[in-house]
A and B are shown apart, each in its own frame.
Chain A
């Protein structure tokens, strides 16, 4: 009876609504990776390899094998990410492991070299590995910081809405510009004909479009009208000017969105091809070592 009365409340289970790939499972993979790095460093210091540490000692082979297998496994994220599944081996868990085990490669790879670097294929493989890791770190940084900026900038607009917004403004501009003279119409036309998603990679990533026709059109129109007396009534140029200003604001939002999205993607354009360069040079490294050995 008494025991019934004093039943302890069930221990509250901490369930986070959402934790990112970095914090996944209470930093489980950070802990595993740190332990791995620590083991490597301590064993490197205490294991006496004769004549000195290098990739060709038994210890070097061990680190090299672990590192090579790790690289192949890390590459498999590219395959794995195409199938999102929940649970212990969810994509998030996999990504978390990818990041932290990838970082541990810095230690494993560097100790495998025994700090013997030079102008050769072996160091080339090491450099490729470091490029992949560093681009990955940049990627982590972007993934940790950009989504919020992206969300703030979108202001609850979808990408489709942004595009439709531009189209609508263009239609209105076209309509409003009909009564304009040929010269003025040309200015508006330039704005209409310029690809809002155009520009090269550097314009995209920097968000700077010095040859923006919309801004140019607005500036030219304003400069021209600055000393002209107000016509009053229904000057079509007033409407065009207001529309150009609206379009410029929308373009600014779109371009910032494009810039942030570009940053989210650009590191992968290094990370992924360099991974394959790494795997190729790793193959050459391993084969060459046993070829001339």
Chain B
């Protein structure tokens, strides 16, 4: 029984060279040292690593002599007994020793299985110097991102849309389609922030007016009939064709609420309608909407027609006829009253003198001023109608009798009652009794005189009631209390005194399509705009023209003007009787932040 050691070496071109050496000994050594029968030039192997010893029964014992272990069929061992006929594979560092039996001999085939060093291993040089393997591959991560992004930003929101269709209000939680929101909603619609489906009903169909009108049943009436609106606006011009093409291609009809009310533009109040939106139609509108009665307007400072107040045609009645006349035509108006503003506002003369005399009672100044007669309405926007009792009677007294310190006055506004009261007065009173009738006072000598006085007086008493007619005529005629201020209708027949008063209509608002608040102009004097001190007649329409307004108000972009003013300052698209939306928002702001307002002033 001999140990035969077969060393297998591989040449550079892969050919195997086998060298066999017999060792007729009972024990041979394994190690890096060249003294060993099995010499392994392997740094992982101890110079004297192990010994192989024959046993009498034909088995061999492999035992570590260095304390370093080796492997038997891949398992770490320090000492093993092997039956060579069964075969085994021993591992020492990068070498294996295959144990087998050939006849009586024990063959130990030695072979290097691991590369000498790591760098010696076969490598693909094309990727060796790249980042391959160190980072996730570009292709892989590209596909990963595509899948992730499409799933998160497209599929998920569409799924959310599909599952919540037709629901009025969604419960409070996260919804994927809110990721599509291009910006916060305005404060008015803030509650809808999580309810995309409330407005965005159908896929690829733009928000329709019906959606808006679900909530805005009353406050969103039409500005004008839609066909007229679209005609007035005209087709897209120039580069706007691009936008229109997109709109047409993606099912976005023109003239919808959201065209002006653009949402997702940021939290806070919705932006007031920009002047451009008005000008889109109203600039040069007569060319497109040929039958319009409106004049063109595009900017208050540059292109805006003269004001056309609704002037009374005839006063009286609940809804007296009115006609819109341009102030350029210098319209006058008969409101049924006579009132020379110049006389009343004069700093000299009877009226001023009377005012001074009554100043302690009524708080007048050196002469009368507007507020002595005109009272602002509770909101300060316009003025209350002038009231005879409140605003005129301080001077224009209707007193005609005094009984026990109580002054009796004629009933204002009821001509028939005036006539009746005067008749009653003359019926129930006697003429002043002459002092020489009866008694001993200051008589003239003789009875003739006495008789004449008595008969005169008797005649006066007799005719006293008929004096009423004269008094009535006087009150209603030139110089009389009524005639001073009112137009008087003559009696129905000669000899009768059924005078009447012409109807009076006081106009509290001339311009119903534009907004003007007196309160907002508190810093100005009345006379800055209303030339009342020069007005000799109540027929003068003391409204200022656009020229006066433009002294302070310029157009939206005339930043040099005192008050650059957009259309929205006076006009509203969905106008009602109240202030325009812009003004209301400003007032809301002022209420919320009074400090700021003070600071600004």
B interface residue numbers (CB < 8 A to A):
32, 41, 43-44, 46-47, 66, 68, 116-120, 123, 125, 128-131, 134-136, 138, 141-146, 148-150, 153-154, 157-158, 161, 177, 179-184, 196, 200, 203-204, 206-207, 239-244, 246, 250, 252, 262, 265-266, 271, 274, 276-277, 280
Q: Which of B144, B149, B196 has the most CB of A within 10 A?
A: B149
Instruction: Using known A-B contacts A58-B242, A185-B43, A201-B135, determine if residue A159 contacts B119 with beta carbons closer than 8 Å.
Output: no
Q: Which residues, 261 to 283 on A, are CB-close (under 8 Å) to B?
A: 261-262, 265-266, 268-269, 272-277, 279-281, 283
Alpha-carbon separation in the docked complex, A288 to B203 (Å): 9
Let me know if B181 and A284 touch, CB within 8 A.
no
- Tell me how far the C-beta of B241 lies from the nearest C-beta in chain A, rounded to whole angstroms: 8
Alpha-carbon separation in the docked complex, A198 to B128 (Å): 10
Alpha-carbon separation in the docked complex, A168 to B189 (Å): 77
6 contacts between A and B (CB under 8 A): A58-B240, A121-B180, A189-B44, A269-B141, A289-B182, A293-B207
Let me know if B262 and A51 touch, CB within 8 A.
yes
Let me know if A291 and B32 touch, CB within 8 A.
no
Let me know if A279 and B125 touch, CB within 8 A.
no
Let me know if A50 and B246 touch, CB within 8 A.
no
- Tell me how far the C-beta of B442 lies from the nearest C-beta in chain A, rounded to whole angstroms: 93
- Tell me how far the C-beta of A257 lies from the nearest C-beta in chain B, rounded to whole angstroms: 7
Q: Which residues of A contact B129 (CB under 8 A)?
A: 159, 197, 257-258, 261
Q: Which residues of B contact A198 (CB under 8 A)?
A: 118
Q: In the complex, what residue of chain B is closest to A62 when comparing beta carbons?
A: B242
Let me know if A181 and B252 touch, CB within 8 A.
no
Q: Which residues of B contact A121 (CB under 8 A)?
A: 153, 157, 179-180
Let me know if B182 and A116 touch, CB within 8 A.
yes
Q: In the complex, what residue of chain A is closest to B145 when comparing beta carbons?
A: A277
State which of A122, A166, A194, A201 has its C-beta within 8 Å of the C-beta of B134.
A201
Alpha-carbon separation in the docked complex, A174 to B148 (Å): 51
Alpha-carbon separation in the docked complex, A285 to B152 (Å): 12
- Tell me how far the C-beta of A138 lies from the nearest C-beta in chain B, rounded to whole angstroms: 15
Alpha-carbon separation in the docked complex, A23 to B119 (Å): 41
- Tell me how far the C-beta of B548 lies from the nearest C-beta in chain A, rounded to whole angstroms: 30
Q: In the complex, what residue of chain B is closest to A174 when comparing beta carbons?
A: B116
Let me know if A290 and B204 touch, CB within 8 A.
yes
- Tell me how far the C-beta of B581 lies from the nearest C-beta in chain A, rounded to whole angstroms: 14
- Tell me how far the C-beta of B364 lies from the nearest C-beta in chain A, rounded to whole angstroms: 52
Alpha-carbon separation in the docked complex, A259 to B184 (Å): 47
Q: Which residues of B contact A177 (CB under 8 A)?
A: 43
Q: Which residues of B contact A287 (CB under 8 A)?
A: 154
Q: Which residues of B contact A276 (CB under 8 A)?
A: 142-143, 145-146
The answer to whether A103 has its CB under 8 Å from any CB of chain B is no
State which of A160, A163, A283 has its C-beta within 8 Å of the C-beta of B119.
A163
Q: Which residues of B contact A269 (CB under 8 A)?
A: 131, 135-136, 138, 141
Let me know if B157 and A288 touch, CB within 8 A.
yes
Q: Which of B146, B157, B182, B262 has the most CB of A within 10 A?
A: B182
Let me know if A163 and B68 touch, CB within 8 A.
no
State which of A171, A262, A279 has its C-beta within 8 Å of the C-beta of B131.
A262
Let me know if B180 and A288 touch, CB within 8 A.
yes
The answer to whether A36 has its CB under 8 Å from any CB of chain B is no
The answer to whether A42 has its CB under 8 Å from any CB of chain B is no
Alpha-carbon separation in the docked complex, A266 to B130 (Å): 9
The answer to whether A21 has its CB under 8 Å from any CB of chain B is no
